Amino acid sequence: MAEAQARQRGGHTEDVSAERLAESGLRFEVDGEIATITLDRPDKRNAQTFATWSALAGIGDSLPEQVRVVVVKGEGPSFSAGIDLRMFTPEGVPGQGSFSSVARSGDTDFEHNIRKAQAGFLWLRRPEIVSIAAVHGHAIGAGFQLALSCDLRIVADDVTFCMKEPALGLVPDLTGTKPLVELVGLAKAVDICLTARMVHAEEALRIGLAEQVVARDDLDRAVRDKAAELLSTNRDAAAATKRLLQGARARTLEEQSVAEGLEQAVRIKALFGG
Protein backbone atom coordinates (compact mmCIF):
# COMPACT_ATOMS: atom_id res chain seq x y z
CA MET A 1 0.00 0.00 0.00
CA ALA A 2 1.24 3.49 -0.72
CA GLU A 3 -0.27 6.72 0.45
CA ALA A 4 -0.42 9.69 -1.87
CA GLN A 5 1.28 12.78 -0.58
CA ALA A 6 1.05 16.40 -1.65
CA ARG A 7 2.71 16.72 -5.02
CA GLN A 8 2.83 19.28 -7.73
CA ARG A 9 1.94 18.52 -11.31
CA GLY A 10 0.94 21.00 -13.99
CA GLY A 11 1.26 23.92 -11.59
CA HIS A 12 -1.52 22.66 -9.26
CA THR A 13 -0.82 21.72 -5.69
CA GLU A 14 -3.28 19.87 -3.51
CA ASP A 15 -2.70 18.29 -0.14
CA VAL A 16 -3.71 14.65 -0.55
CA SER A 17 -2.38 13.35 2.74
CA ALA A 18 -4.61 10.73 4.38
CA GLU A 19 -5.54 13.27 7.04
CA ARG A 20 -6.59 15.92 4.51
CA LEU A 21 -8.53 13.33 2.49
CA ALA A 22 -10.34 12.15 5.62
CA GLU A 23 -11.40 15.76 6.29
CA SER A 24 -12.81 15.81 2.76
CA GLY A 25 -14.69 12.55 3.25
CA LEU A 26 -12.39 10.35 1.17
CA ARG A 27 -9.93 7.49 1.52
CA PHE A 28 -7.32 6.68 -1.09
CA GLU A 29 -5.30 3.48 -1.33
CA VAL A 30 -2.90 2.17 -3.93
CA ASP A 31 -2.14 -1.52 -4.25
CA GLY A 32 0.24 -2.09 -7.16
CA GLU A 33 -1.48 -1.03 -10.37
CA ILE A 34 -4.90 -0.58 -8.73
CA ALA A 35 -5.94 2.57 -6.87
CA THR A 36 -9.13 2.74 -4.83
CA ILE A 37 -10.95 5.92 -3.93
CA THR A 38 -13.58 5.42 -1.23
CA LEU A 39 -16.23 8.02 -0.46
CA ASP A 40 -16.13 7.80 3.30
CA ARG A 41 -18.89 9.73 5.04
CA PRO A 42 -21.31 6.81 5.43
CA ASP A 43 -23.31 8.49 8.20
CA LYS A 44 -24.16 11.26 5.70
CA ARG A 45 -24.55 8.82 2.80
CA ASN A 46 -21.26 10.06 1.32
CA ALA A 47 -22.63 13.51 0.55
CA GLN A 48 -20.09 15.55 -1.41
CA THR A 49 -18.76 19.06 -0.80
CA PHE A 50 -16.38 21.40 -2.63
CA ALA A 51 -13.65 19.91 -0.43
CA THR A 52 -14.50 16.43 -1.77
CA TRP A 53 -14.14 17.60 -5.38
CA SER A 54 -10.94 19.46 -4.64
CA ALA A 55 -9.52 16.35 -2.97
CA LEU A 56 -10.58 14.21 -5.94
CA ALA A 57 -8.71 16.59 -8.25
CA GLY A 58 -5.68 16.34 -5.97
CA ILE A 59 -5.76 12.55 -6.20
CA GLY A 60 -5.87 12.82 -9.99
CA ASP A 61 -2.92 15.21 -10.00
CA SER A 62 -0.79 12.99 -7.80
CA LEU A 63 -1.84 9.57 -9.09
CA PRO A 64 1.20 7.28 -9.00
CA GLU A 65 2.38 6.47 -12.51
CA GLN A 66 2.13 2.71 -12.05
CA VAL A 67 -1.65 2.91 -11.54
CA ARG A 68 -3.70 1.51 -14.45
CA VAL A 69 -7.08 0.92 -12.80
CA VAL A 70 -8.90 3.36 -10.50
CA VAL A 71 -11.88 2.06 -8.53
CA VAL A 72 -14.37 4.55 -7.07
CA LYS A 73 -16.67 3.17 -4.38
CA GLY A 74 -18.73 4.26 -1.39
CA GLU A 75 -18.61 3.19 2.25
CA GLY A 76 -21.87 2.31 4.04
CA PRO A 77 -25.40 2.00 2.67
CA SER A 78 -25.03 4.34 -0.34
CA PHE A 79 -22.50 5.11 -3.06
CA SER A 80 -23.32 8.82 -2.69
CA ALA A 81 -26.42 10.90 -1.91
CA GLY A 82 -25.01 13.74 -4.01
CA ILE A 83 -24.13 17.24 -2.99
CA ASP A 84 -24.19 18.03 0.70
CA LEU A 85 -27.61 19.58 1.21
CA ARG A 86 -26.15 22.06 3.69
CA MET A 87 -24.97 23.93 0.58
CA PHE A 88 -28.62 24.92 0.09
CA THR A 89 -28.91 26.46 3.56
CA PRO A 90 -27.88 30.04 4.40
CA GLU A 91 -25.21 28.69 6.78
CA GLY A 92 -23.71 26.37 4.18
CA VAL A 93 -20.90 23.90 4.88
CA PRO A 94 -18.50 25.24 7.53
CA GLY A 95 -15.43 26.70 5.83
CA GLN A 96 -16.89 26.16 2.35
CA GLY A 97 -19.77 28.60 2.14
CA SER A 98 -23.17 27.97 0.59
CA PHE A 99 -24.96 28.55 -2.70
CA SER A 100 -26.07 31.91 -1.30
CA SER A 101 -22.42 32.98 -1.04
CA VAL A 102 -21.67 31.46 -4.47
CA ALA A 103 -24.60 33.41 -5.98
CA ARG A 104 -23.18 36.64 -4.57
CA SER A 105 -19.75 36.04 -6.13
CA GLY A 106 -18.95 37.45 -9.57
CA ASP A 107 -19.55 35.39 -12.72
CA THR A 108 -15.83 34.81 -13.19
CA ASP A 109 -15.41 33.46 -9.65
CA PHE A 110 -18.46 31.27 -10.11
CA GLU A 111 -17.20 29.76 -13.37
CA HIS A 112 -13.77 29.28 -11.85
CA ASN A 113 -15.29 27.38 -8.90
CA ILE A 114 -17.32 25.14 -11.18
CA ARG A 115 -14.26 24.36 -13.30
CA LYS A 116 -12.34 23.51 -10.12
CA ALA A 117 -15.11 21.17 -8.99
CA GLN A 118 -15.30 19.54 -12.44
CA ALA A 119 -11.54 18.88 -12.35
CA GLY A 120 -12.25 16.28 -9.66
CA PHE A 121 -14.37 14.33 -12.16
CA LEU A 122 -12.62 14.94 -15.49
CA TRP A 123 -9.35 13.14 -14.83
CA LEU A 124 -11.13 9.80 -14.38
CA ARG A 125 -11.33 9.58 -18.22
CA ARG A 126 -7.56 9.72 -18.78
CA PRO A 127 -6.41 7.21 -21.43
CA GLU A 128 -3.63 5.89 -19.16
CA ILE A 129 -6.18 4.50 -16.68
CA VAL A 130 -9.47 2.67 -16.69
CA SER A 131 -11.83 3.91 -14.00
CA ILE A 132 -14.49 1.64 -12.52
CA ALA A 133 -17.38 2.92 -10.42
CA ALA A 134 -18.53 0.24 -7.97
CA VAL A 135 -22.03 1.52 -7.27
CA HIS A 136 -24.47 0.30 -4.66
CA GLY A 137 -27.44 1.84 -2.84
CA HIS A 138 -28.08 5.42 -3.94
CA ALA A 139 -26.16 7.35 -6.60
CA ILE A 140 -27.99 10.67 -6.60
CA GLY A 141 -27.09 13.93 -8.33
CA ALA A 142 -23.35 14.46 -7.90
CA GLY A 143 -23.14 10.76 -6.94
CA PHE A 144 -24.71 9.75 -10.25
CA GLN A 145 -22.35 12.11 -12.09
CA LEU A 146 -19.33 10.67 -10.31
CA ALA A 147 -20.38 7.21 -11.46
CA LEU A 148 -20.83 8.60 -14.99
CA SER A 149 -17.29 10.01 -14.91
CA CYS A 150 -15.89 6.49 -14.73
CA ASP A 151 -15.27 4.36 -17.81
CA LEU A 152 -17.22 1.40 -16.42
CA ARG A 153 -20.01 0.98 -13.90
CA ILE A 154 -20.35 -2.31 -12.08
CA VAL A 155 -23.42 -2.09 -9.88
CA ALA A 156 -25.09 -3.97 -7.06
CA ASP A 157 -28.64 -5.18 -7.51
CA ASP A 158 -29.82 -2.66 -4.89
CA VAL A 159 -28.62 0.35 -6.91
CA THR A 160 -30.75 3.43 -7.57
CA PHE A 161 -29.52 6.19 -9.88
CA CYS A 162 -31.28 9.57 -9.82
CA MET A 163 -30.38 12.84 -11.56
CA LYS A 164 -32.02 15.02 -8.96
CA GLU A 165 -30.63 18.41 -10.07
CA PRO A 166 -33.56 19.58 -12.26
CA ALA A 167 -35.97 18.81 -9.41
CA LEU A 168 -33.95 21.22 -7.26
CA GLY A 169 -33.85 23.97 -9.92
CA LEU A 170 -30.30 23.12 -11.01
CA VAL A 171 -28.62 21.49 -13.98
CA PRO A 172 -26.19 18.57 -13.72
CA ASP A 173 -22.84 20.39 -14.05
CA LEU A 174 -20.28 17.91 -12.78
CA THR A 175 -19.45 16.53 -16.25
CA GLY A 176 -22.24 13.94 -16.23
CA THR A 177 -24.46 15.08 -19.11
CA LYS A 178 -22.16 14.06 -21.98
CA PRO A 179 -21.47 10.50 -20.80
CA LEU A 180 -25.15 10.05 -19.96
CA VAL A 181 -26.24 10.99 -23.50
CA GLU A 182 -23.48 8.87 -25.01
CA LEU A 183 -24.44 5.85 -22.91
CA VAL A 184 -28.22 5.89 -23.11
CA GLY A 185 -29.07 8.24 -26.02
CA LEU A 186 -30.68 11.68 -25.98
CA ALA A 187 -34.29 10.59 -25.48
CA LYS A 188 -33.55 8.37 -22.49
CA ALA A 189 -31.23 11.02 -21.00
CA VAL A 190 -34.02 13.61 -21.30
CA ASP A 191 -36.42 11.17 -19.66
CA ILE A 192 -34.05 10.40 -16.78
CA CYS A 193 -32.94 14.00 -16.09
CA LEU A 194 -36.14 15.96 -16.68
CA THR A 195 -38.24 13.63 -14.54
CA ALA A 196 -35.50 13.13 -11.90
CA ARG A 197 -36.87 9.60 -11.64
CA MET A 198 -35.16 6.57 -10.11
CA VAL A 199 -33.30 4.16 -12.37
CA HIS A 200 -32.87 0.75 -10.79
CA ALA A 201 -30.38 -2.00 -11.54
CA GLU A 202 -32.36 -3.93 -14.16
CA GLU A 203 -33.04 -0.80 -16.23
CA ALA A 204 -29.48 0.49 -15.73
CA LEU A 205 -28.16 -2.71 -17.30
CA ARG A 206 -30.73 -2.72 -20.09
CA ILE A 207 -30.08 0.88 -21.21
CA GLY A 208 -26.29 0.66 -21.00
CA LEU A 209 -25.75 2.65 -17.83
CA ALA A 210 -24.24 -0.37 -16.10
CA GLU A 211 -21.92 -2.96 -17.59
CA GLN A 212 -22.72 -5.58 -14.98
CA VAL A 213 -25.17 -6.15 -12.14
CA VAL A 214 -24.18 -8.39 -9.24
CA ALA A 215 -25.50 -9.23 -5.80
CA ARG A 216 -24.51 -6.61 -3.20
CA ASP A 217 -22.16 -9.05 -1.45
CA ASP A 218 -20.41 -9.84 -4.74
CA LEU A 219 -19.66 -6.24 -5.75
CA ASP A 220 -16.07 -6.05 -4.46
CA ARG A 221 -15.22 -9.41 -5.99
CA ALA A 222 -16.75 -8.48 -9.36
CA VAL A 223 -14.72 -5.24 -9.42
CA ARG A 224 -11.53 -7.10 -8.47
CA ASP A 225 -12.14 -9.61 -11.28
CA LYS A 226 -12.72 -6.82 -13.83
CA ALA A 227 -9.56 -5.03 -12.68
CA ALA A 228 -7.57 -8.24 -13.13
CA GLU A 229 -8.98 -8.67 -16.67
CA LEU A 230 -8.08 -5.07 -17.51
CA LEU A 231 -4.54 -5.55 -16.22
CA SER A 232 -4.05 -8.61 -18.42
CA THR A 233 -3.54 -6.52 -21.57
CA ASN A 234 -0.49 -4.51 -22.60
CA ARG A 235 -0.35 -1.16 -20.74
CA ASP A 236 0.68 1.04 -23.68
CA ALA A 237 -1.62 -0.70 -26.15
CA ALA A 238 -4.50 -0.30 -23.70
CA ALA A 239 -3.88 3.46 -23.37
CA ALA A 240 -3.56 3.88 -27.16
CA THR A 241 -6.74 1.88 -27.74
CA LYS A 242 -8.65 3.94 -25.18
CA ARG A 243 -7.46 7.12 -26.93
CA LEU A 244 -8.79 5.73 -30.21
CA LEU A 245 -12.13 4.71 -28.73
CA GLN A 246 -12.58 8.04 -26.96
CA GLY A 247 -11.94 9.96 -30.17
CA ALA A 248 -14.04 7.71 -32.42
CA ARG A 249 -17.37 9.50 -32.02
CA ALA A 250 -15.99 12.90 -33.04
CA ARG A 251 -14.13 11.56 -36.12
CA THR A 252 -15.33 10.46 -39.54
CA LEU A 253 -14.58 6.86 -40.53
CA GLU A 254 -11.76 8.13 -42.72
CA GLU A 255 -10.28 10.21 -39.87
CA GLN A 256 -10.62 7.31 -37.45
CA SER A 257 -8.85 4.97 -39.90
CA VAL A 258 -5.97 7.43 -40.11
CA ALA A 259 -5.86 7.69 -36.30
CA GLU A 260 -5.74 3.86 -36.02
CA GLY A 261 -2.81 3.76 -38.42
CA LEU A 262 -0.90 6.42 -36.52
CA GLU A 263 -1.37 4.68 -33.17
CA GLN A 264 -0.42 1.34 -34.71
CA ALA A 265 2.77 2.76 -36.18
CA VAL A 266 3.82 3.73 -32.66
CA ARG A 267 2.96 0.26 -31.35
CA ILE A 268 4.82 -1.57 -34.11
CA LYS A 269 7.92 0.57 -33.60
CA ALA A 270 7.77 -0.01 -29.84
CA LEU A 271 7.33 -3.77 -30.25
CA PHE A 272 9.57 -4.54 -33.21
CA GLY A 273 11.70 -1.42 -33.73
CA GLY A 274 14.74 -2.89 -32.04
Is 176 a binding residue for ligand ACO by CB under 6 A? The answer is: no
Of residues 20 and 164, the one with the C-beta less far from ligand ACO: 164
Is 44 a binding residue for ligand ACO by CB under 6 A? The answer is: yes
Minimum CB distance to ligand ACO, residue 143 (Å):
7
Is 55 a binding residue for ligand ACO by CB under 6 A? The answer is: no
Minimum CB distance to ligand ACO, residue 169 (Å):
10
Minimum CB distance to ligand ACO, residue 159 (Å):
12
Of residues 158 and 220, the one with the C-beta less far from ligand ACO: 158
Q: In what order do the strands lie in the sheet with 198-200?
A: 138-140, 160-162, 198-200
Identify the residue among 14, 40, 61, 84 touching ligand ACO (CB under 6 A): 84
For residue 19, which phi and psi values (nearest 5 degrees)?
Answer: -65, -45
Identify the residue among 60, 92, 120, 141 touching ligand ACO (CB under 6 A): 141
Considering only residues 93 to 122 of the shown chain, the ones binding ligand ACO according to CB under 6 A are: none
Is 164 a binding residue for ligand ACO by CB under 6 A? The answer is: yes
Of residues 44 and 243, the one with the C-beta less far from ligand ACO: 44
- List contacts with ligand ACO (CB under 6 A): 44-45, 47, 77-78, 81-85, 138, 140-142, 164-165, 168, 170
